[in-house]
Amino acid sequence: GIQVEQSPPDLILQEGANSTLRCNFSDSVNNLQWFHQNPWGQLINLFYIPSGTKQNGRLSATTVATERYSLLYISSSQTTDSGVYFCAVGGGADGLTFGKGTHLIIQP
């Protein structure tokens, strides 16, 4: 099956810093999503981005489908950005394959 690798696995930053999270995948996909899992376990949709670039406030994402990677940018980090960020890929109705996530800690 398709492989999804996320890097870095852990990231500790000071409040106000910028960060870039990376997701590499092993095959072409029709669906790529970024999620933020909050401390209560809820998975919050950030982006549906199988290709191209999107921005939402301080967050933006870029997927280069031909090179099989996606990047999530977080600017001016806040402590509420802490949590685990997941990249997940898939196609059709078969469900998503998740990476192992990036554990982000933003220190005040």
Partner 1 sequence: SQTIHQWPATLVQPVGSPLSLECTVEGTSNPNLYWYRQAAGRGLQLLFYSVGIGQISSEVPQNLSASRPQDRQFILSSKKLLLSDSGFYLCACGLGGETQYFGPGTRLLVL
42 binding partner 1? (CB under 8 A): yes
Assign residue 68 a region (left: φ > 0; alpha: ψ between -120 and 50; beta: otherwise): left
Number of residues forming the site for partner 1 (CB under 8 A): 25
Residues in the chain: 108
39 binding partner 1? (CB under 8 A): no
For partner 1, the closer of residues 40 and 66 by Cβ is: 40
Token output for 35: 């999620």
Stretch touching partner 1 by CB under 8 A, among 20-28, 38-46, 59-67, 72-80: 38-46
86 binding partner 1? (CB under 8 A): yes
What CA–CA distance (Å, rounded) separates 38 from 47? 16
Q: Which of 17, 34, 21 is nearest to 77 (CA)?
A: 17
Stretch touching partner 1 by CB under 8 A, among 18-26, 63-71, 74-82, 94-102: 94-102
94 binding partner 1? (CB under 8 A): yes
What CA–CA distance (Å, rounded) separates 103 from 90? 22
What is the DSSP pairing of strand 59-64 with strand 96-98? unpaired
Query: Which residues of this chain interact with partner 1, rule CB under 8 A?
Result: 30-31, 33, 35, 40-43, 45, 48, 84, 86, 88, 90-101
